Chain A
Amino acid sequence: MIATAYSVPSIVIFVTAALLILVGAIGVISLRHPVHAALSLIMTLFGVAVAFVAQSADFLAAVQIIVYAGAIVVLFLFVIMFLGVDRREGISVEPLVGQRAFAALGVLVTVAGLIALMARSHWVSGVMSVSSAGQPISTGQGNVKELGTAVFTTYLFAFEATAALLIIAVVGAVLLARRERTTQPEEVSS
Protein backbone atom coordinates (compact mmCIF):
# COMPACT_ATOMS: atom_id res chain seq x y z
CA MET A 1 0.00 0.00 0.00
CA ILE A 2 2.64 2.46 1.05
CA ALA A 3 4.96 1.74 -1.86
CA THR A 4 2.29 2.46 -4.47
CA ALA A 5 1.56 5.88 -2.98
CA TYR A 6 4.95 7.23 -4.04
CA SER A 7 6.12 8.09 -7.54
CA VAL A 8 9.70 7.66 -8.69
CA PRO A 9 10.64 11.40 -8.64
CA SER A 10 9.37 11.83 -5.10
CA ILE A 11 11.37 8.79 -3.95
CA VAL A 12 14.52 10.23 -5.57
CA ILE A 13 13.93 13.59 -3.87
CA PHE A 14 13.23 11.93 -0.53
CA VAL A 15 16.36 9.77 -0.70
CA THR A 16 18.48 12.80 -1.65
CA ALA A 17 17.09 14.89 1.20
CA ALA A 18 17.43 12.02 3.67
CA LEU A 19 21.04 11.41 2.63
CA LEU A 20 21.88 15.10 2.98
CA ILE A 21 20.27 15.24 6.42
CA LEU A 22 21.81 12.02 7.72
CA VAL A 23 25.31 12.45 6.31
CA GLY A 24 25.34 16.02 7.59
CA ALA A 25 24.08 15.04 11.02
CA ILE A 26 26.61 12.23 11.36
CA GLY A 27 29.29 14.66 10.22
CA VAL A 28 28.35 17.18 12.91
CA ILE A 29 29.01 14.70 15.71
CA SER A 30 31.87 12.74 14.16
CA LEU A 31 34.11 15.41 12.58
CA ARG A 32 36.86 16.55 14.93
CA HIS A 33 37.21 20.08 13.62
CA PRO A 34 34.54 22.58 14.81
CA VAL A 35 34.46 24.41 11.47
CA HIS A 36 33.95 21.17 9.54
CA ALA A 37 31.21 20.19 11.98
CA ALA A 38 29.49 23.54 11.35
CA LEU A 39 29.72 22.92 7.59
CA SER A 40 28.08 19.52 8.07
CA LEU A 41 25.31 21.25 9.99
CA ILE A 42 24.70 23.48 6.96
CA MET A 43 24.41 20.34 4.83
CA THR A 44 21.76 18.98 7.20
CA LEU A 45 19.86 22.26 7.06
CA PHE A 46 19.93 22.11 3.26
CA GLY A 47 18.56 18.57 3.37
CA VAL A 48 15.69 19.74 5.57
CA ALA A 49 15.03 22.60 3.12
CA VAL A 50 14.89 20.10 0.24
CA ALA A 51 12.43 18.03 2.23
CA PHE A 52 10.31 21.14 2.83
CA VAL A 53 10.26 21.94 -0.91
CA ALA A 54 9.24 18.34 -1.63
CA GLN A 55 6.29 18.94 0.72
CA SER A 56 5.40 22.16 -1.18
CA ALA A 57 6.45 24.26 1.80
CA ASP A 58 8.58 26.63 -0.28
CA PHE A 59 8.34 29.51 2.17
CA LEU A 60 9.50 27.39 5.08
CA ALA A 61 12.38 26.09 2.98
CA ALA A 62 13.50 29.63 2.16
CA VAL A 63 13.19 30.74 5.77
CA GLN A 64 15.05 27.64 6.91
CA ILE A 65 18.07 28.61 4.82
CA ILE A 66 17.86 32.36 5.47
CA VAL A 67 17.55 32.05 9.25
CA TYR A 68 19.42 28.88 10.13
CA ALA A 69 22.10 28.63 7.45
CA GLY A 70 22.29 32.34 6.69
CA ALA A 71 22.41 33.70 10.23
CA ILE A 72 22.67 31.16 13.03
CA VAL A 73 25.44 28.93 11.69
CA VAL A 74 27.28 32.04 10.50
CA LEU A 75 27.23 33.18 14.14
CA PHE A 76 28.54 29.76 15.23
CA LEU A 77 31.38 30.12 12.75
CA PHE A 78 31.93 33.72 13.85
CA VAL A 79 32.37 32.57 17.44
CA ILE A 80 34.61 29.67 16.40
CA MET A 81 36.83 32.01 14.37
CA PHE A 82 36.75 34.93 16.77
CA LEU A 83 37.53 32.95 19.89
CA GLY A 84 39.91 30.64 18.06
CA VAL A 85 38.24 27.41 19.18
CA ASP A 86 39.59 25.61 16.13
CA ARG A 87 41.91 23.32 18.06
CA ARG A 88 41.15 19.65 18.37
CA GLU A 89 39.76 18.74 21.76
CA GLY A 90 40.47 15.40 23.33
CA ILE A 91 37.24 13.46 23.51
CA SER A 92 38.70 10.62 25.55
CA VAL A 93 38.27 12.66 28.74
CA GLU A 94 34.74 12.73 30.13
CA PRO A 95 33.85 16.21 31.35
CA LEU A 96 30.97 14.84 33.43
CA VAL A 97 31.38 11.49 35.20
CA GLY A 98 28.81 8.94 34.08
CA GLN A 99 27.75 11.10 31.15
CA ARG A 100 28.14 8.34 28.59
CA ALA A 101 25.88 5.87 30.37
CA PHE A 102 23.12 8.49 30.60
CA ALA A 103 23.64 9.48 26.95
CA ALA A 104 23.33 5.85 25.84
CA LEU A 105 20.16 5.47 27.92
CA GLY A 106 18.74 8.66 26.39
CA VAL A 107 19.47 7.49 22.85
CA LEU A 108 17.91 4.11 23.59
CA VAL A 109 14.71 5.63 24.98
CA THR A 110 14.42 8.10 22.07
CA VAL A 111 14.95 5.47 19.37
CA ALA A 112 12.58 3.01 21.06
CA GLY A 113 9.98 5.74 21.44
CA LEU A 114 10.27 6.74 17.78
CA ILE A 115 9.97 3.14 16.59
CA ALA A 116 6.98 2.56 18.87
CA LEU A 117 5.29 5.73 17.62
CA MET A 118 5.91 4.84 13.99
CA ALA A 119 4.61 1.32 14.48
CA ARG A 120 1.49 2.16 16.46
CA SER A 121 0.32 5.60 15.35
CA HIS A 122 -0.80 7.27 12.14
CA TRP A 123 2.65 8.78 11.52
CA VAL A 124 3.41 6.35 8.71
CA SER A 125 0.45 6.71 6.42
CA GLY A 126 2.13 6.73 3.02
CA VAL A 127 0.69 10.11 2.02
CA MET A 128 2.98 12.72 0.54
CA SER A 129 1.86 15.63 2.64
CA VAL A 130 0.59 16.45 6.10
CA SER A 131 -2.93 17.28 4.99
CA SER A 132 -5.69 14.70 4.72
CA ALA A 133 -6.07 13.85 1.07
CA GLY A 134 -2.35 13.56 0.37
CA GLN A 135 -2.44 16.93 -1.38
CA PRO A 136 -0.63 19.95 0.09
CA ILE A 137 -2.87 22.50 1.84
CA SER A 138 -1.52 25.26 -0.35
CA THR A 139 1.28 25.49 -2.87
CA GLY A 140 3.88 28.11 -3.59
CA GLN A 141 2.75 31.56 -2.57
CA GLY A 142 -0.22 30.28 -0.57
CA ASN A 143 2.30 29.09 2.03
CA VAL A 144 2.81 32.56 3.40
CA LYS A 145 -0.90 33.16 3.90
CA GLU A 146 -1.53 29.77 5.52
CA LEU A 147 1.45 30.10 7.81
CA GLY A 148 0.64 33.69 8.75
CA THR A 149 -2.97 32.83 9.54
CA ALA A 150 -1.94 29.85 11.67
CA VAL A 151 0.75 31.76 13.55
CA PHE A 152 -1.40 34.82 14.28
CA THR A 153 -4.64 33.03 15.18
CA THR A 154 -4.39 29.44 16.39
CA TYR A 155 -0.84 29.57 17.70
CA LEU A 156 -0.74 33.24 18.68
CA PHE A 157 0.10 32.58 22.33
CA ALA A 158 2.98 30.21 21.55
CA PHE A 159 4.28 32.62 18.91
CA GLU A 160 4.25 35.67 21.16
CA ALA A 161 5.68 33.68 24.07
CA THR A 162 8.60 32.60 21.87
CA ALA A 163 9.14 36.21 20.80
CA ALA A 164 9.16 37.38 24.42
CA LEU A 165 11.55 34.60 25.37
CA LEU A 166 13.98 35.59 22.62
CA ILE A 167 13.84 39.26 23.64
CA ILE A 168 14.49 38.32 27.28
CA ALA A 169 17.43 36.16 26.24
CA VAL A 170 18.94 38.98 24.15
CA VAL A 171 18.47 41.62 26.85
CA GLY A 172 19.87 39.23 29.46
CA ALA A 173 22.92 38.46 27.34
CA VAL A 174 23.58 42.17 26.80
CA LEU A 175 23.14 42.91 30.51
CA LEU A 176 25.55 40.14 31.47
CA ALA A 177 28.15 41.11 28.90
CA ARG A 178 28.07 44.89 29.26
CA ARG A 179 28.69 45.94 32.82
CA GLU A 180 28.73 49.70 33.36
CA ARG A 181 31.94 50.94 34.88
CA THR A 182 31.17 53.60 37.47
CA THR A 183 34.62 54.82 38.40
CA GLN A 184 37.19 55.83 35.82
CA PRO A 185 40.93 55.91 36.35
CA GLU A 186 42.37 59.40 36.33
CA GLU A 187 45.30 59.06 33.92
CA VAL A 188 43.10 58.66 30.83
CA SER A 189 41.01 61.76 31.21
CA SER A 190 44.02 64.05 31.54
Chain B
Amino acid sequence: MNWLASVDPLYAHGVTGVVLLIVLIKVLVGFGVLMGSVILMIWFERKAISDMQSRIGPQRWGPFGLLQTLADGMKLMFKEDLVPAEADRFVFKLAPYLVLVPALITFAIVPLGGTIHVAGHPIMLQVANPPMGILLMLVMSGISVYGVMLAGWSSGSKYPLLSSVRASAQMISYEAALGMTIVTIVLATGSLSTHDIVAAQGHGIWHWNLIRLGVVPFVVFLIAITAELNRPPFDVVEAESELVGGFHTEYSSIRFAIFFLAEYMNTITMSAIIVTLFLGGPAGWVPNISHLRWVFPILWFLAKTVGFAFCYIWFRASLPRLRYDQLMDLGWKRLIPLSLGWMLIVAGFLVARGWGFLMAALVLIAWTVLTRAFEIGQGRESGVESVLPMVGERPLPERKLRDASEGEES
Protein backbone atom coordinates (compact mmCIF):
# COMPACT_ATOMS: atom_id res chain seq x y z
CA MET B 1 0.00 0.00 0.00
CA ASN B 2 2.98 2.31 0.44
CA TRP B 3 3.24 3.05 -3.30
CA LEU B 4 -0.24 4.62 -3.23
CA ALA B 5 1.29 7.63 -1.48
CA SER B 6 3.66 8.18 -4.38
CA VAL B 7 0.66 8.43 -6.68
CA ASP B 8 -1.50 10.68 -4.52
CA PRO B 9 -0.35 12.35 -1.24
CA LEU B 10 -3.87 11.84 0.09
CA TYR B 11 -3.02 8.20 0.83
CA ALA B 12 0.16 8.98 2.79
CA HIS B 13 -1.38 7.88 6.09
CA GLY B 14 -3.24 4.89 4.72
CA VAL B 15 -6.79 4.58 3.48
CA THR B 16 -9.09 5.73 6.27
CA GLY B 17 -12.78 6.57 6.33
CA VAL B 18 -12.12 10.27 5.85
CA VAL B 19 -9.92 9.55 2.83
CA LEU B 20 -12.62 7.38 1.30
CA LEU B 21 -15.17 10.15 1.89
CA ILE B 22 -12.88 12.69 0.20
CA VAL B 23 -12.45 10.35 -2.78
CA LEU B 24 -16.21 9.86 -3.01
CA ILE B 25 -16.78 13.63 -2.93
CA LYS B 26 -14.12 14.09 -5.62
CA VAL B 27 -15.86 11.53 -7.84
CA LEU B 28 -19.27 13.15 -7.35
CA VAL B 29 -17.92 16.66 -7.95
CA GLY B 30 -16.10 15.47 -11.06
CA PHE B 31 -19.27 13.85 -12.36
CA GLY B 32 -21.30 16.96 -11.59
CA VAL B 33 -18.78 19.27 -13.24
CA LEU B 34 -18.74 17.12 -16.38
CA MET B 35 -22.54 16.87 -16.57
CA GLY B 36 -22.99 20.60 -15.97
CA SER B 37 -20.40 21.49 -18.56
CA VAL B 38 -22.04 19.16 -21.10
CA ILE B 39 -25.27 21.12 -20.75
CA LEU B 40 -23.38 24.39 -21.15
CA MET B 41 -21.32 22.98 -24.03
CA ILE B 42 -24.38 21.99 -26.05
CA TRP B 43 -25.88 25.43 -25.47
CA PHE B 44 -22.55 27.10 -26.31
CA GLU B 45 -22.18 25.10 -29.53
CA ARG B 46 -25.72 25.90 -30.67
CA LYS B 47 -25.33 29.60 -29.85
CA ALA B 48 -21.90 29.92 -31.46
CA ILE B 49 -22.94 28.04 -34.60
CA SER B 50 -26.03 30.23 -34.82
CA ASP B 51 -23.91 33.36 -34.57
CA MET B 52 -21.58 32.12 -37.29
CA GLN B 53 -24.57 31.34 -39.51
CA SER B 54 -26.39 34.61 -38.76
CA ARG B 55 -29.17 32.90 -36.81
CA ILE B 56 -30.39 33.49 -33.25
CA GLY B 57 -30.29 29.97 -31.90
CA PRO B 58 -31.97 28.72 -28.71
CA GLN B 59 -33.56 31.57 -26.76
CA ARG B 60 -36.88 30.37 -25.33
CA TRP B 61 -35.97 28.39 -22.22
CA GLY B 62 -34.16 30.21 -19.47
CA PRO B 63 -31.99 33.30 -19.86
CA PHE B 64 -30.28 33.29 -23.30
CA GLY B 65 -31.82 29.84 -23.92
CA LEU B 66 -29.53 28.24 -21.32
CA LEU B 67 -32.11 25.65 -20.31
CA GLN B 68 -32.77 24.50 -23.87
CA THR B 69 -30.59 21.40 -23.36
CA LEU B 70 -32.57 20.39 -20.27
CA ALA B 71 -35.79 20.80 -22.23
CA ASP B 72 -34.41 18.65 -25.05
CA GLY B 73 -33.28 16.04 -22.56
CA MET B 74 -36.76 15.90 -21.01
CA LYS B 75 -38.32 15.59 -24.44
CA LEU B 76 -35.99 12.74 -25.41
CA MET B 77 -36.72 10.87 -22.20
CA PHE B 78 -40.43 10.77 -22.93
CA LYS B 79 -40.00 9.59 -26.52
CA GLU B 80 -40.82 6.02 -27.44
CA ASP B 81 -37.91 3.65 -26.98
CA LEU B 82 -37.58 1.67 -30.20
CA VAL B 83 -35.60 -1.49 -30.82
CA PRO B 84 -35.54 -2.47 -34.51
CA ALA B 85 -36.86 -5.92 -35.34
CA GLU B 86 -33.59 -6.87 -37.05
CA ALA B 87 -31.48 -5.65 -34.15
CA ASP B 88 -29.26 -7.78 -31.97
CA ARG B 89 -31.10 -6.82 -28.81
CA PHE B 90 -28.38 -7.37 -26.20
CA VAL B 91 -25.62 -5.57 -28.13
CA PHE B 92 -28.05 -2.85 -29.21
CA LYS B 93 -28.79 -2.03 -25.57
CA LEU B 94 -25.16 -2.40 -24.48
CA ALA B 95 -23.60 -0.10 -27.08
CA PRO B 96 -24.64 3.33 -25.67
CA TYR B 97 -23.00 2.50 -22.34
CA LEU B 98 -19.78 1.48 -24.09
CA VAL B 99 -19.65 5.04 -25.39
CA LEU B 100 -20.78 6.77 -22.19
CA VAL B 101 -18.59 5.04 -19.61
CA PRO B 102 -15.23 5.70 -21.33
CA ALA B 103 -16.27 9.34 -21.80
CA LEU B 104 -16.84 9.61 -18.04
CA ILE B 105 -13.70 7.75 -16.99
CA THR B 106 -11.31 9.71 -19.21
CA PHE B 107 -12.27 12.93 -17.43
CA ALA B 108 -11.02 11.43 -14.15
CA ILE B 109 -7.36 11.79 -15.09
CA VAL B 110 -7.57 15.48 -16.04
CA PRO B 111 -5.96 17.76 -13.41
CA LEU B 112 -8.37 20.64 -12.90
CA GLY B 113 -6.12 22.61 -10.58
CA GLY B 114 -3.26 22.33 -8.13
CA THR B 115 -3.29 20.64 -4.74
CA ILE B 116 -5.41 22.13 -1.97
CA HIS B 117 -5.30 21.36 1.74
CA VAL B 118 -8.57 20.73 3.56
CA ALA B 119 -8.41 19.87 7.27
CA GLY B 120 -4.84 18.60 6.96
CA HIS B 121 -5.53 16.40 3.96
CA PRO B 122 -3.74 17.30 0.75
CA ILE B 123 -6.30 16.97 -2.05
CA MET B 124 -5.28 16.90 -5.68
CA LEU B 125 -7.89 18.59 -7.82
CA GLN B 126 -8.20 15.61 -10.14
CA VAL B 127 -10.41 12.62 -9.58
CA ALA B 128 -7.66 10.04 -9.94
CA ASN B 129 -3.96 9.91 -10.69
CA PRO B 130 -3.42 6.31 -11.79
CA PRO B 131 0.14 5.08 -12.48
CA MET B 132 -0.81 4.36 -16.09
CA GLY B 133 -1.72 8.04 -16.41
CA ILE B 134 -2.31 9.28 -19.91
CA LEU B 135 -2.44 5.71 -21.25
CA LEU B 136 -5.87 5.53 -19.62
CA MET B 137 -7.07 7.99 -22.24
CA LEU B 138 -5.86 5.71 -25.04
CA VAL B 139 -7.43 2.71 -23.30
CA MET B 140 -10.76 4.49 -23.02
CA SER B 141 -10.76 5.77 -26.60
CA GLY B 142 -9.99 2.18 -27.63
CA ILE B 143 -13.13 1.03 -25.83
CA SER B 144 -15.36 3.77 -27.12
CA VAL B 145 -14.62 2.49 -30.64
CA TYR B 146 -16.64 -0.57 -29.67
CA GLY B 147 -19.59 1.54 -28.66
CA VAL B 148 -19.76 3.19 -32.08
CA MET B 149 -19.00 -0.02 -33.99
CA LEU B 150 -21.44 -2.23 -32.14
CA ALA B 151 -24.17 0.41 -32.18
CA GLY B 152 -23.97 0.50 -35.95
CA TRP B 153 -23.72 -3.24 -36.41
CA SER B 154 -26.40 -4.25 -33.93
CA SER B 155 -28.98 -1.92 -35.47
CA GLY B 156 -29.40 -4.44 -38.29
CA SER B 157 -29.71 -1.68 -40.84
CA LYS B 158 -27.45 -0.81 -43.76
CA TYR B 159 -26.56 2.82 -43.11
CA PRO B 160 -25.52 2.29 -39.49
CA LEU B 161 -23.49 -0.74 -40.63
CA LEU B 162 -21.62 1.38 -43.19
CA SER B 163 -21.07 3.95 -40.49
CA SER B 164 -19.63 1.42 -38.06
CA VAL B 165 -17.26 0.02 -40.69
CA ARG B 166 -16.04 3.57 -41.31
CA ALA B 167 -15.79 4.27 -37.58
CA SER B 168 -13.66 1.25 -36.83
CA ALA B 169 -11.17 2.00 -39.61
CA GLN B 170 -11.04 5.72 -38.88
CA MET B 171 -10.64 5.53 -35.14
CA ILE B 172 -7.93 2.86 -35.28
CA SER B 173 -5.98 4.78 -37.92
CA TYR B 174 -5.95 7.99 -35.98
CA GLU B 175 -5.20 6.27 -32.68
CA ALA B 176 -1.75 5.43 -34.07
CA ALA B 177 -0.88 9.09 -34.67
CA LEU B 178 -2.43 9.97 -31.32
CA GLY B 179 -0.33 7.38 -29.49
CA MET B 180 2.83 8.55 -31.23
CA THR B 181 2.36 12.17 -30.13
CA ILE B 182 1.62 11.03 -26.59
CA VAL B 183 4.87 9.05 -26.66
CA THR B 184 6.67 12.29 -27.60
CA ILE B 185 5.20 14.03 -24.56
CA VAL B 186 5.92 11.12 -22.25
CA LEU B 187 9.53 11.04 -23.48
CA ALA B 188 10.00 14.73 -22.77
CA THR B 189 8.30 14.53 -19.36
CA GLY B 190 9.71 11.20 -18.23
CA SER B 191 6.41 10.24 -16.65
CA LEU B 192 3.07 8.82 -17.68
CA SER B 193 1.02 10.54 -15.00
CA THR B 194 -1.00 13.58 -16.03
CA HIS B 195 -0.11 15.26 -12.74
CA ASP B 196 3.61 15.06 -13.57
CA ILE B 197 3.02 16.15 -17.15
CA VAL B 198 1.27 19.27 -15.87
CA ALA B 199 3.88 19.85 -13.16
CA ALA B 200 6.70 19.71 -15.74
CA GLN B 201 5.03 22.52 -17.69
CA GLY B 202 4.39 24.73 -14.68
CA HIS B 203 7.45 26.98 -14.94
CA GLY B 204 6.21 29.45 -17.50
CA ILE B 205 4.98 29.57 -21.04
CA TRP B 206 8.31 28.43 -22.56
CA HIS B 207 8.00 25.13 -20.73
CA TRP B 208 4.63 24.30 -22.23
CA ASN B 209 4.81 21.24 -24.44
CA LEU B 210 3.22 23.28 -27.21
CA ILE B 211 6.43 25.29 -27.54
CA ARG B 212 9.00 22.96 -25.98
CA LEU B 213 8.32 20.09 -28.41
CA GLY B 214 7.85 22.29 -31.45
CA VAL B 215 4.33 22.98 -32.64
CA VAL B 216 4.14 19.82 -34.81
CA PRO B 217 3.00 17.32 -32.12
CA PHE B 218 0.30 19.76 -31.05
CA VAL B 219 -1.06 20.12 -34.57
CA VAL B 220 -0.97 16.35 -35.17
CA PHE B 221 -2.67 15.74 -31.84
CA LEU B 222 -5.38 18.33 -32.50
CA ILE B 223 -6.17 16.81 -35.91
CA ALA B 224 -6.02 13.23 -34.66
CA ILE B 225 -8.20 13.92 -31.65
CA THR B 226 -10.79 15.67 -33.82
CA ALA B 227 -10.90 12.54 -35.97
CA GLU B 228 -11.05 10.36 -32.88
CA LEU B 229 -14.03 12.37 -31.64
CA ASN B 230 -15.79 12.03 -35.02
CA ARG B 231 -16.28 15.77 -34.99
CA PRO B 232 -16.43 17.82 -38.18
CA PRO B 233 -14.51 17.96 -40.51
CA PHE B 234 -13.86 14.27 -39.80
CA ASP B 235 -17.45 13.20 -39.15
CA VAL B 236 -17.78 10.72 -42.03
CA VAL B 237 -19.08 8.30 -39.39
CA GLU B 238 -22.28 10.28 -39.00
CA ALA B 239 -22.29 12.12 -42.30
CA GLU B 240 -25.94 13.19 -42.50
CA SER B 241 -25.92 13.60 -46.27
CA GLU B 242 -24.67 10.05 -46.89
CA LEU B 243 -25.64 7.87 -43.94
CA VAL B 244 -28.87 9.42 -42.56
CA GLY B 245 -27.60 9.73 -38.97
CA GLY B 246 -24.69 7.34 -38.97
CA PHE B 247 -24.32 4.71 -36.28
CA HIS B 248 -27.16 6.06 -34.14
CA THR B 249 -29.77 6.23 -36.90
CA GLU B 250 -31.91 3.49 -35.31
CA TYR B 251 -31.59 4.79 -31.77
CA SER B 252 -34.31 6.78 -30.10
CA SER B 253 -35.32 8.14 -26.73
CA ILE B 254 -32.85 7.90 -23.84
CA ARG B 255 -30.36 5.74 -25.75
CA PHE B 256 -30.00 8.41 -28.40
CA ALA B 257 -29.61 10.97 -25.62
CA ILE B 258 -26.76 8.89 -24.17
CA PHE B 259 -24.89 8.94 -27.49
CA PHE B 260 -25.43 12.68 -27.73
CA LEU B 261 -24.30 13.20 -24.14
CA ALA B 262 -21.20 11.06 -24.63
CA GLU B 263 -20.22 12.93 -27.77
CA TYR B 264 -20.26 16.27 -25.99
CA MET B 265 -18.61 14.81 -22.90
CA ASN B 266 -15.82 13.55 -25.14
CA THR B 267 -15.48 16.96 -26.76
CA ILE B 268 -15.03 18.61 -23.39
CA THR B 269 -12.73 15.90 -22.08
CA MET B 270 -10.51 15.99 -25.14
CA SER B 271 -10.28 19.79 -24.97
CA ALA B 272 -9.19 19.33 -21.36
CA ILE B 273 -6.70 16.62 -22.38
CA ILE B 274 -5.15 18.91 -25.02
CA VAL B 275 -4.84 21.65 -22.41
CA THR B 276 -3.27 19.16 -20.00
CA LEU B 277 -0.78 17.78 -22.49
CA PHE B 278 0.26 20.88 -24.40
CA LEU B 279 -0.79 24.04 -22.58
CA GLY B 280 0.27 23.24 -19.05
CA GLY B 281 -3.22 22.50 -17.75
CA PRO B 282 -3.86 24.80 -14.80
CA ALA B 283 -0.51 26.60 -15.24
CA GLY B 284 -0.69 30.35 -15.49
CA TRP B 285 -0.16 33.64 -13.68
CA VAL B 286 -1.36 33.57 -10.07
CA PRO B 287 -1.83 36.91 -8.25
CA ASN B 288 -0.69 36.94 -4.64
CA ILE B 289 -4.04 36.98 -2.86
CA SER B 290 -4.07 34.85 0.26
CA HIS B 291 -6.74 32.11 0.56
CA LEU B 292 -7.70 32.56 -3.08
CA ARG B 293 -4.49 31.37 -4.75
CA TRP B 294 -6.00 27.95 -5.47
CA VAL B 295 -8.83 29.45 -7.52
CA PHE B 296 -6.67 30.92 -10.28
CA PRO B 297 -5.23 27.64 -11.65
CA ILE B 298 -8.81 26.39 -12.03
CA LEU B 299 -9.78 29.57 -13.85
CA TRP B 300 -6.78 29.26 -16.18
CA PHE B 301 -7.70 25.65 -16.87
CA LEU B 302 -11.31 26.60 -17.61
CA ALA B 303 -10.30 29.46 -19.90
CA LYS B 304 -7.96 27.26 -21.94
CA THR B 305 -10.49 24.43 -22.17
CA VAL B 306 -13.27 26.75 -23.31
CA GLY B 307 -10.87 28.06 -25.95
CA PHE B 308 -10.45 24.59 -27.42
CA ALA B 309 -14.14 23.80 -27.11
CA PHE B 310 -14.73 26.92 -29.21
CA CYS B 311 -12.13 25.68 -31.71
CA TYR B 312 -14.18 22.51 -32.28
CA ILE B 313 -17.30 24.57 -32.88
CA TRP B 314 -15.34 26.80 -35.22
CA PHE B 315 -14.11 23.75 -37.17
CA ARG B 316 -17.67 22.56 -37.51
CA ALA B 317 -18.91 25.87 -38.82
CA SER B 318 -16.09 26.56 -41.26
CA LEU B 319 -14.55 23.34 -42.61
CA PRO B 320 -16.17 21.07 -45.21
CA ARG B 321 -16.28 17.35 -44.45
CA LEU B 322 -13.41 15.24 -45.77
CA ARG B 323 -14.18 12.40 -48.12
CA TYR B 324 -13.49 8.96 -46.68
CA ASP B 325 -10.39 8.24 -48.80
CA GLN B 326 -8.99 11.73 -48.08
CA LEU B 327 -9.46 11.02 -44.41
CA MET B 328 -7.51 7.77 -44.66
CA ASP B 329 -4.79 9.42 -46.77
CA LEU B 330 -4.37 12.18 -44.21
CA GLY B 331 -4.17 9.69 -41.36
CA TRP B 332 -1.85 7.08 -42.84
CA LYS B 333 0.26 9.01 -45.31
CA ARG B 334 0.69 12.30 -43.48
CA LEU B 335 0.01 12.19 -39.76
CA ILE B 336 1.50 8.80 -38.83
CA PRO B 337 4.86 9.35 -40.63
CA LEU B 338 4.98 12.94 -39.37
CA SER B 339 4.33 12.04 -35.74
CA LEU B 340 6.73 9.08 -35.89
CA GLY B 341 9.48 11.22 -37.44
CA TRP B 342 8.96 14.03 -34.95
CA MET B 343 9.07 11.57 -32.06
CA LEU B 344 12.44 10.26 -33.30
CA ILE B 345 13.82 13.80 -33.61
CA VAL B 346 12.65 14.73 -30.10
CA ALA B 347 14.11 11.49 -28.72
CA GLY B 348 17.41 12.29 -30.46
CA PHE B 349 17.56 15.79 -28.98
CA LEU B 350 16.77 14.41 -25.53
CA VAL B 351 19.88 12.20 -25.71
CA ALA B 352 22.26 14.80 -27.15
CA ARG B 353 22.25 17.65 -29.62
CA GLY B 354 24.35 15.71 -32.15
CA TRP B 355 21.97 12.76 -32.13
CA GLY B 356 19.10 15.18 -32.58
CA PHE B 357 20.54 16.65 -35.77
CA LEU B 358 21.45 13.17 -37.02
CA MET B 359 17.86 12.03 -36.42
CA ALA B 360 16.51 15.14 -38.14
CA ALA B 361 18.69 14.40 -41.19
CA LEU B 362 17.57 10.75 -41.26
CA VAL B 363 13.92 11.72 -40.92
CA LEU B 364 14.35 14.21 -43.76
CA ILE B 365 15.80 11.48 -46.00
CA ALA B 366 12.99 9.08 -45.03
CA TRP B 367 10.46 11.83 -45.75
CA THR B 368 11.86 12.37 -49.27
CA VAL B 369 11.83 8.63 -50.00
CA LEU B 370 8.28 8.34 -48.68
CA THR B 371 7.05 11.29 -50.75
CA ARG B 372 8.60 9.76 -53.86
CA ALA B 373 6.99 6.41 -53.03
CA PHE B 374 3.57 8.07 -52.70
CA GLU B 375 4.09 9.79 -56.05
CA ILE B 376 4.91 6.51 -57.76
CA GLY B 377 2.04 4.71 -56.03
CA GLN B 378 -0.45 7.41 -56.95
CA GLY B 379 -0.25 6.76 -60.70
CA ARG B 380 -0.73 3.01 -60.51
CA GLU B 381 -3.73 0.78 -60.78
CA SER B 382 -3.80 -2.28 -58.58
CA GLY B 383 -6.18 -4.92 -57.39
CA VAL B 384 -6.98 -8.56 -57.83
CA GLU B 385 -9.12 -9.36 -60.86
CA SER B 386 -10.86 -12.23 -59.14
CA VAL B 387 -12.22 -10.06 -56.33
CA LEU B 388 -13.02 -6.76 -58.00
CA PRO B 389 -15.41 -6.57 -60.93
CA MET B 390 -13.97 -5.81 -64.36
CA VAL B 391 -12.62 -2.34 -64.89
CA GLY B 392 -15.42 -1.24 -67.21
CA GLU B 393 -18.07 -2.21 -64.64
CA ARG B 394 -16.75 -0.52 -61.55
CA PRO B 395 -16.69 3.21 -60.85
CA LEU B 396 -13.85 5.09 -62.47
CA PRO B 397 -10.83 5.95 -60.33
CA GLU B 398 -11.10 9.49 -59.00
CA ARG B 399 -8.04 10.69 -60.92
CA LYS B 400 -9.71 9.81 -64.21
CA LEU B 401 -13.03 11.28 -63.10
CA ARG B 402 -11.27 14.51 -62.24
CA ASP B 403 -9.51 14.58 -65.61
CA ALA B 404 -12.78 13.91 -67.39
CA SER B 405 -14.73 16.59 -65.52
CA GLU B 406 -11.99 19.17 -65.98
CA GLY B 407 -12.02 18.41 -69.69
CA GLU B 408 -15.75 19.12 -69.88
CA GLU B 409 -15.51 22.42 -68.11
CA SER B 410 -12.80 23.87 -70.29
* Residues of B contacting A187 in the complex (Cβ-Cβ under 8 angstroms): 392
* Residues of A contacting B171 in the complex (Cβ-Cβ under 8 angstroms): 74
Q: Say whether chain A's binding surface is mostly helix, strand, loop, or mixed.
A: helix
* Residues of A contacting B141 in the complex (Cβ-Cβ under 8 angstroms): 70
Checking A78, A177, A178, A184 against B165 with a beta-carbon cut-off of 8 angstroms, the contacting residue is: A78
* Residues of A contacting B149 in the complex (Cβ-Cβ under 8 angstroms): 74, 77-78, 81
B382 touches A180 (CB 8 A): yes
Who on chain B is nearest to A49 by CB?
B139
Contact with A along B14-26 (1 / 0, CB 8 A): 0000000000000
Q: Is A129 an interface residue (CB 8 A)?
A: no
* Residues of A contacting B175 in the complex (Cβ-Cβ under 8 angstroms): 70-71
B139 touches A70 (CB 8 A): yes
Contact with B along A70-89 (1 / 0, CB 8 A): 11001101100110000000
A61 touches B132 (CB 8 A): yes
Instruction: Give the interface size class of chain A.
Output: 35 or more
A78 touches B136 (CB 8 A): no
B142 touches A140 (CB 8 A): no
Chain A contacts with B in 67-116, Cβ cutoff 8 A: 69-71, 74-75, 77-78, 81-82
Who on chain A is nearest to B161 by CB?
A81
The answer to whether A178 and B381 touch (CB under 8 A), given A70-B142, A77-B149, is: no
What separation, in Å, do the CA atoms of A82 and B168 have in the docked complex? Answer: 11
Q: Is A141 an interface residue (CB 8 A)?
A: yes
Contact with B along A45-83 (1 / 0, CB 8 A): 000000000001011011101100111001101100110
Checking A36, A61, A74 against B172 with a beta-carbon cut-off of 8 angstroms, the contacting residue is: A74
A141-B192, A143-B131, A188-B391 known; 14 new pairs, CB 8 Å cut-off, are A35-B150, A62-B139, A66-B139, A70-B145, A74-B149, A74-B172, A75-B172, A78-B169, A81-B165, A139-B131, A140-B3, A181-B383, A185-B390, A188-B392
- A interface residue numbers (CB < 8 A to B): 33, 35-36, 39, 42, 56, 58-59, 61-63, 65-66, 69-71, 74-75, 77-78, 81-82, 139-141, 143-144, 177-181, 184-185, 187-189
